[in-house]
Amino acid sequence: MSSPLWIFGYGSLLWDPGFTPAEQCRARLEGWHRSFSMRSIHYRGTVQDPGLVLALDQRTGAACDGIAMRVEQAQEDEVLAMLRARELISDAYLERRLPVRCEDGRQIEVVAYVIDPHGAQYCDLPLEEQAQIIARARGARGPNVAYLRNTEAHLRAMGVQDADLAWLIARVGEIGA
C-alpha cells in the first residue's frame, strides 16, 4: 500500500485548493520561506505586466506555516493532474515531496510547489516594489490584490502571523488598490 497523497497549501491553495480534502491539518514546513518571489504572467498578471504570487523559497532557518490536505485515495491521480496543470503552467514552480510536521505532532510527506530560483519568473524584490506591483497587476484570475487579501485573511483566520503580508496589505491599501 502506498502512502496517502498530501498537498501543502501556503498561498492560493489555502483558499482555492480545487478539490475537497479528505482531511487537513495545520502544518509547518522547515527550511522554506513564503514570499512574493514569483512573477505571475498568467493568473495575476500578464507577460507584458507581470503580477506577483507567493512561492516557497528555500532558506536556512526559515519555516512556513500552511495547511496539509490529504486527497481521497480514489481521487489522487485526478487531483495531482489538476494541480500540475494549474501550478506547473510555466516552468516557475518545481514539484517537490517534502516533510512537514502537523500541529498534532504527525510528520507526513506532502507535495509542495516551490520556486525555481534559477527560473525567469523568480524575483527577490523589496516590499515597496512588491506593493506597487500587487496594487496594479491584473491577470486571468483577477486583480493581484485579491490574491494578497485572500491569502492574508486565510492565514490570519488560522492564527498565522505573517509580518510581510500584513505590511503589504496596509501599503497596498495606502496606494489605493
**CATH code of the domain containing 21:** 3.10.490.10
Please report the pLDDT score of residue 42 as a whole number.
87
**What percent of the chain is predicted at pLDDT more than 90?**
90
Which of 23, 30, 78, 87 is flagged as catalytic?
87
Classify residue 157 as exposed, middle or buried by CB count within 10 Å of its CB (0-12, 13-18, 19+).
Answer: exposed
Whether residue 144 lies inside any domain: the answer is: no
CB-based burial, 61-81: b 16+ in 10 Å, e otherwise: eeebbbbbbbbeeeeeeebbe
Q: CB–CB of 119/92 below 8 Å?
A: yes
Q: Chain-wide mean pLDDT for the chain?
A: 94
Whether residue 66 lies inside any domain: the answer is: yes
State the total domains in the chain: 1
Which residue, 94, 99, 95, 98, is CA-closest to 117? Answer: 94
Whether residue 84 lies inside any domain: the answer is: yes
pLDDT, one tens digit per residue, over 78-132 is: 999 999 998 888 888 999 999 999 999 999 999 999 999 999 999 999 999 999 9
Please report the pLDDT score of residue 176 as a whole number.
84
Distance CA 111, CA 14 (A): 14
> 54 is in which domain, residue-wise?
6-124
Whether residue 62 lies inside any domain: the answer is: yes
Whether residue 163 lies inside any domain: the answer is: no
Instruction: Please confirm, yes or no, whether 87 is among the known catalytic residues.
Output: yes
